[in-house]
Amino acid sequence: MTTCTPRAAWVNLLRRLHFYIGLFVGPFIFFAALTGTLYVATPQLENAVYRHALHGVTAGEAKSLAEQIAVAEKVTGGELRLHAVRPGLVDGDTTRVMFADPALGPSENRAIFIDPVTLAVRGDMTVYGTSGILPLRQKIDYLHTSLMLGDVGRLYSELAASWMWLAALGGIALWFYTRPKRRINNRFQNRRRLHVSLGWVLLGGMLLFSATGLTWSQWAGGNVDRLRAGMNWLTPQVNTQLSGAPAVVDEHAEHRGHRGGMVMPDMALDLTQFDDVLHAARSAGIEANRLEIRPAKSADRAWTVTEIDRSWPTRVDAVAIDPHSMQILDRTRFADFPLMAKLTRWGVDFHMGILFGLVNQLLLIAFGLALCVLIVWGYRMWWMRRPAKSPADPVHTLCQSWLALSRWGRAVTVAVSVLLGMALPVMGGSLLLFILFDWLRWRAAVQVSLAESSVK
């Protein structure tokens, strides 16, 4: 066993782990960055492609919501349950009437776009999630989150989010411990300086996107929710139970693939209530022009009206309204949210490129492209320093680097690995694969060394 100083042992371990993350997880991070950049770069394109559906007549008096919804129900044949309505409250905007269609996927709804002035049907298409993105960006979103492979594909994005923060911090630590004491000008060191410089510039973004990405993830997301619940960091939700009993809400239902309203019994809706509920919400201080009205899920539930303007300043206030008396039963105000709930909301919206509008988009486009360059440059550095042949020295393995640590160091790394594996299951599973691959490589290298020694 090769002996080395404690510091050198830690540096070797960190270098091998950073290398494995880059080699095996780097392509997934690259693809997530590339598709994420495409997602935030296309809202204007989506608005142009679907302009006919999104915009109608600008002059004239708008008809009642009841009349608009009635037209939308004729289009669907009255066979689909009404999920929500997003009124066109700005001149020229259409009203989006959304129906729960069992033929669609999780978090998808069929939307009928109605001109509030003429009652003309301007569009009929699938919309996705609380953000209400249209088919063009929906495909990009599916590509970004799951490679269009459903829940199985979501493992890729969770893998990228699980390791990106550690790759970023590990790279900075490696630079700190191995940076040259004087400037060296050669091809490799020049590329290394660019790699490190980009790492420093992108560090905050990589940490942010790892954290916000994990809140949406399939496996780690549940652990994140439990942590937030235990720390009282959950986003407040309006209580919709008419009896006054506490509500149980899954904030990430749409990301888990749940379709909350699909289990409700059919209820006959009085369409005039939509206008009354909107008026009651306006009187209660819901002032944003981007709203979503959701009818009650069952007879013992209230209706909700929620602001959906997530730009800056964030407007996501909500009220629960008794559809019989039009009384406000409960309300939430973003200004009253706990600090961590606000930070979560802002972090997620920044991740989606909607918090600061065009500025947010440009920042994320620059970040995504720079992250792609960072990863490609890392591969370039490896290619320049790759061994001419497969190394026979087992010191080039993660296993040998770990064995070179002190007993205390080995115990700490095992404990930290177990804890991270429990909190981030995809990281834990992939780490086991790293170790298995490394052990096989280490074993082969040892056998080669023994064979060469016997020949000599």
Q: Report the alpha-carbon distance of residue 419 to residue 413 in Å, rounded.
A: 10
Angle between helices 407-423 and 425-455 (to 10 degrees): 140
Q: Nearest 5°: phi and psi at 110? A: -85, 125
pLDDT (tens, 9 = 90+) of the chain, 456 residues, equals 456 788 889 999 999 999 999 999 999 999 999 999 999 999 999 999 999 999 999 889 999 999 999 999 999 998 999 999 999 999 999 999 999 999 999 999 999 999 999 999 999 999 998 889 999 999 999 999 999 999 999 999 999 999 999 999 999 999 998 887 777 777 888 888 899 999 999 999 999 999 999 999 999 999 998 988 888 888 899 999 987 544 434 444 444 443 333 334 445 789 999 999 999 999 999 999 999 999 998 889 999 999 999 999 999 999 999 999 999 999 999 999 999 999 999 999 999 999 999 999 999 999 999 999 999 999 998 888 776 555 445 457 888 889 999 999 999 999 999 999 999 999 999 999 999 999 888 788 777 777 766 765
Q: For residue 456, what pLDDT is reported?
A: 59
Q: Is the pTM of this model over 0.85?
A: yes
Q: For residue 248, what pLDDT is reported?
A: 39
Contact between 137 and 39 under an 8 Å Cβ cutoff? The reply is yes
Q: Report the alpha-carbon distance of residue 147 to residue 155 in Å, rounded.
A: 10
Contact between 400 and 231 under an 8 Å Cβ cutoff? The reply is no
Q: For residue 267, what pLDDT is reported?
A: 57
Q: Report the alpha-carbon distance of residue 19 to residue 391 in Å, rounded.
A: 15
Q: For residue 262, what pLDDT is reported?
A: 36
Cα–Cα distances in angstroms (integers) from residue 65 to residues 95, 275, 294, 400, in the given order: 8, 6, 13, 70
